[in-house]
Structure formats: structure tokens, C-alpha cells
Amino acid sequence: MDMRLTGKTAVVTGASRGIGLAIVRALTGEGMRVVAAARTLTPALKETGAIPLTADLSTAHGPAEVIEGALAELGEIDLLVNNVGGGDATADAAGGFLGMPDELWGQVYDLNLLSAVRATRAALPSLVRRRGSVINISSTGARTPHGGPIPYTTAKAALTAFGKALAEEFGPQGVRVNTVSPGATRTDMWEAADGFGSLVAAANGMELEPFLAALPAASGMTTGRLVEPEEVAALVAWLASPHAASVAGADYIVDGGAIKTV
């Protein structure tokens, strides 16, 4: 299906790997001009043909600087994908609530919620002019906050609510805002030897490889496998397209059937 995005412009945050990289590839593959922002620019990102920008999106000024740079490169912005999230894997993040200091809460909220707030605030004047759209990448943890570190899952719950509120306020001005919430996805967060998955595996007395093999079943994923980043990216491209012109304020779950409630 032609997504009818050729010549449109986009900004993707957290674009260097995983879901963000897959989104950049999907959008450039549809003919979009993409500014890809990340703290570290990987060779894979540079190969996409996107315009790379280095930024620390967890800082108070980083997101606005990205949007300023994007406007200079693109002129106007048709799509903002607030994908950056997660955070560095630490023992605190894998522990319980009482072991999580204020510093951890602040870092997680800055990266997973306030980066989207700040980037969206800076991009909205252009998005209103272009009658564009915002897509926030949240997590199924927003709906199952017991399933991960409390700072992360509650920040994602706030991000999902943020998207719903924005859709209500800016929909009448022509801006569509939607959320995509992936479940366990095949990214470095789970698969890297120094990632969050490795910490959780160790906390459960398991090696990483058998832990990952058991994760889909343990999570209730009826597909029997982790979500692929490209599957999330394909949904993002569709939501950004005119084919989804009446989709606003929605939260799409991509979790292999793990969430059983309606």
C-alpha cells in the first residue's frame, strides 16, 4: 500500500537503534524527509538517508534544540514521532520501589515523558500550520504498571494520557495525536548483554538466552515470539498517512496478545 507520504517531513527521536531506527527506515522508505535525533549516531542510522542530529533528549533544552534544527533542515514538520525512552539499565531500575531514589525517578520521567512534552511543545506551531500529526511511542507497561520498573511504567502511563489530552485540544486545529504501545520487542533493551533484560534475567537466576526464550510464554504472548521493531514501524507509517485521517486519540497495542483485558 502506498502510504502517500512522499515529500512529507518527519522528526523521530531516539532514532539510533531498535524501534526508532525501524521507524526512520519505514518513513524514509515511504519517501519522507526525516530528521533523526539520538544521543549517539550509529552507522545504521547514517545509512538510512535521514538527516542525523545529536541531542540529549533527557535535558530541559535538548528536545527544543532538535525541533529548531529540524525546522532549519526541513522548513516545516508534518510528523513528530516521540520515540525516545527506556533509559540506561541499572540495578536500581531492576529493583523494587524502596530501592529507587529520587534521582532515578527524575531521569526516567525526563526521558520517557518530559522529552515528548518538550519536543511536542516546540513542534506544535509547525504541526498546526501543516495540519500534521504526533505519534507517541508508549508501552504496554502503561496498562500493566506492575510489569516493569515503577518509574518507567508510570511515566509511560502519563505519556499515553498526554497523547489523549493533546488529541482533544489540538484535533480541532487539524493535528492528529495517537499512541503506539509495544510489548516486549526484539531490541537491545531486552537482548543486549548489558541491557535491562540481562538485569531481569540475573534477578531471576537465569542466563539471558533462556530467559528471552521463555519471555513470550511468561508474558502471555499468544504469538509465541517477541514483537519485531519493523512491525511497530509499519503501524507508525500507517498512522502518519492519509489512510488514517480519522484516527485520533487512539492507543494501539502491539504486544503479541499479551494483554488479555478489553
Residue 155 in any domain: the answer is yes
152 is catalytic: yes
Residue 191 in any domain: the answer is no
Residue 198 in any domain: the answer is no
pLDDT tens readout for residues 68-125: 999 999 999 999 999 999 976 666 666 689 989 999 999 999 999 999 999 999 999 9
pLDDT attached to residue 199: 85
Give residue 13's domain range.
Answer: 9-184+227-254
Pull the grid cell for residue 111. Answer: 526521558
pLDDT attached to residue 53: 98
What is the number of domains present in the chain? 1
> What integer is the mean pLDDT of 153-167?
98
Residue 132 in any domain: the answer is yes
Q: Give the highest mean pLDDT range of 87-91, 163-167, 193-197.
A: 163-167
Query: Which is more confident, 224 or 204?
Result: 224
* DSSP percent split of the chain into helix, strand, coil, nearest 5: 50, 15, 35
> What integer is the mean pLDDT of 116-138?
98
**Do residues 35 and 70 lie in contact, with contact meaning Cβ atoms separated by under 8 Å?**
yes
CATH of the domain at 76: 3.40.50.720
**Per-residue confidence band for 194, with pLDDT thresholds at 50, 70 and 90:** confident
**Per-residue confidence band for 200, with pLDDT thresholds at 50, 70 and 90:** confident
Residue 4 in any domain: the answer is no
Residue 208 in any domain: the answer is no
**Per-residue confidence band for 16, with pLDDT thresholds at 50, 70 and 90:** very high
**Do residues 34 and 56 lie in contact, with contact meaning Cβ atoms separated by under 8 Å?**
no
- Whether the per-residue pLDDT at 224 is higher than 70: the answer is yes
Q: Amino acid letter at 175?
A: V
pLDDT attached to residue 132: 98
Active-site position among 152, 170, 190, 196: 152
pLDDT tens readout for residues 39-54: 999 999 999 999 999 9
Residue 83 in any domain: the answer is yes
Query: Mean pLDDT of all residues in the chain?
Result: 95
pLDDT attached to residue 88: 65
CA atoms within 13 A on the CB side of 238: 11
**Do residues 104 and 154 lie in contact, with contact meaning Cβ atoms separated by under 8 Å?**
no
pLDDT tens readout for residues 169-178: 999 999 999 9
**Do residues 60 and 67 lie in contact, with contact meaning Cβ atoms separated by under 8 Å?**
no
- Whether the per-residue pLDDT at 255 is higher than 70: the answer is yes
What CA–CA distances, in Å, run from 250 to 160, 175, 222, 259? 9, 13, 23, 16
Q: What angle do CA 225, 153, 139 make, to 5 degrees?
A: 45
Residue 194 in any domain: the answer is no
- Whether the per-residue pLDDT at 61 is higher than 90: the answer is yes
